[in-house]
Amino acid sequence: MSPNARSIRGSVLQLAGRLDDALREFEEALALDANFSLAQALAGLAYMQKALPDRAIAAAQKARALSGPRPDILALHGYILARAGRRDDAMKALEDLRRLNQPRRPSPFQVALIYVGLDDMDRAFEWLDKAVDARNWETPMIKANPIFEPIRSDPRFPALLRRIGLPD
């Protein structure tokens, strides 16, 4: 399989909570292409979910160095920094993300991701509302993606799901 196919497979395993299996897929992707930034970033996210913040940050930083100004990688990097308690660094990543312009303009969903990591629920919902308005393809994932667990108990969450067209 290609590094991209391995990363997609790893991402599905990650969403299913099978983090060790997901990490094996990301490692296989990186064995095929050591410079594949998406596999590196997703591995960082899996490490964060496994409560291994040092490994998560190292993977996210490497992904960012490999990818250049890629908004999806920058958003994951900012999220990981935020969850690791490095608020100032996460805010810097957020500033860098918001400064990107065409053709690599960040989606509102990507901005919301960092605000979720920062536990700034008001801003997270503000940007998720913008993502729904923009019809971001990523937005329906909030129901299944463990990244969004912190916002699921918020009373605004069911209304957001209904706006997307998903059941509560």
Tokens of 140: 């329906």
pLDDT of residue 102: 61
The continuous run of DSSP H or E covering 28 comes out as helix 19-32
Residues 158, 165 contacting (CB under 8 angstroms):
no
High-pLDDT (> 70) share of the chain, %: 99
pTM: 0.91
pLDDT of residue 99: 87
- 10 Å CB burial of residue 50 (0-12, 13-18, 19+) is middle
- Judged against a pLDDT cut of 80, whether residue 1 lies above it is answered with no
pLDDT digits (tens, 9 = 90+) for 61-71: 999 999 988 89
Measured CA to CA in angstroms, residue 41 lies from 37, 65, 135 at distances of 6, 11, 24
pLDDT digits (tens, 9 = 90+) for 23-43: 999 999 999 999 999 999 999
Give buried/exposed letters for 14-47 (b at 16+ CB in 10 A, else e).
beeeebeebbebbebbbebeeebbbbbbbbbbbb
pLDDT of residue 83: 96
pLDDT digits (tens, 9 = 90+) for 103-161: 678 899 999 999 999 999 999 999 999 999 999 888 998 988 889 999 999 999 999 99
